[in-house]
Structure 1
Amino acid sequence: MTPDDLVLTPRGVRFQGQLYPCTIGKTGITRNKREGDKATPAGIHRIVGMLYRPDRIPAPVPWAMPIGTRDLWSDDGTQGDYNSLVQAPYPHSHEVLRRADPLYDLVILTDWNWPDAVAGRGSAIFIHQQRRPGYPTEGCVAFSRAHLHQIAARLTRHSRLIV
């Protein structure tokens, strides 16, 4: 582990000497991640990107990419672009990245089941803003808005999420 790693503990995520409360998947942590199981996958996940809503917030780091009006994330395991960024119109199952609520105003991308995605092994394992404290995710790791922005501004291209 390095100081730039985000390490999930029973009390939250430890990052650069601080402990940040967070929420994880509704069904806890799993070593056998499946699409739709609502679990956070155990393992060491590299941080591979960051997306942000340019109409709502400034870029938290120079390497963050803006979320466009047509940006989606494919969660359809029958498609070749499963677990990757796609553009609308997209007739297959997907998540909308440009949401009405603030959950995806800032999204940190992990390398879970990416870039060579295996169908059904799970998609869209992000780090993002939580709905409210203690409210679980569908498998992601989520923080308060303030903590997410503090963490994002200090991440490096070598940071990892260790679950």
Structure 2
Amino acid sequence: MTRAILQVGPLRIPAAIGRSGRTSRKREGDGATPIAAMPLLSGYLRGDRVAAPRTTLPLTRIRPTMLWCDAPKDPSYNRLVRAPFKPSHEEMQRQDELYDICLVLDWNVTSRRRQAGSAIFLHLIRPGYEPTAGCIAIARRDMIRILPHIGRGTILRVL
């Protein structure tokens, strides 16, 4: 099952999740979304495409040099890094619209374990709610709707 409901406080929002469904044993590259209550930490925004929405969540404008390290053996695993960066990573400034608004969930961030999964974000969906690589994805209209009501520490749950 690659569709789920995202619970944000009293709100329930349709979401796409990982291509491998949900798991309580998240591993790097498994394509699954963690079964966990995940607090929001911060977010990123494509300021060249999206106007800054109203929210108390810290949002940083995405720059071309911003990458996210997904190399478990690297000291920067599951952290924002800057290009040039040779170990495995993900580009934050994507060509598609998925990360036009991208929120960082506290999955393996504040307390990291190697191989426990990286870059678990809440981002925008692909058409047709296509599965993600482990993230949670929602429609742009739903993201804009919830942003004024969330902040650092808001808990997200996938049902």
**1:23 and 1:133 in contact (8 A); partners too:** no
Alpha-carbon displacement from aligned partner over 1:13-70 (angstroms, at most 9, x marks no partner): 2335443211111111101000010000111111000110111112223521111120
Give the match for residue 135 of structure 2. Answer: 140
Query: How far, CA to CA, are the matches of 1:152 and 1:140 in structure 2?
Result: 18
**Equivalent of 2:154 in 150, 155, 159:** 159
Is residue 81 of structure 2 the alignment partner of residue 115 of structure 1?
Answer: no
- Is 1:93 the counterpart of 2:88 in the alignment? yes
Distance 1:141 1:49 in 2: 15
For the pair 1:53 / 2:46, whether they are aligned, the reply is yes
Matched pairs, number = 154
2:33 matched residue in structure 1: 40
Does the aligned pair in 1 maintain the 2:21–2:33 contact within 8 Å?
Answer: yes
**Structure 1 SS opposite 2:145:** helix
Q: Which runs of 5+ in 2 are unaligned?
A: none
RMSD of aligned residue pairs (Cα, Å): 1.6
Name segments (4+ residues, structure 1) moved above 3 Å: 14-18
> Structure 1 stretches of 5 or more lacking a match?
1-9
Please report the TM-score for the alignment, with normalisation by the length of structure 1: 0.88
Tell me the TM-score normalised to structure 2 length: 0.90
Q: SS of the counterpart of 1:148?
A: helix
Identity of aligned residues (%): 36
1:103 to 98, 105, 110: 98
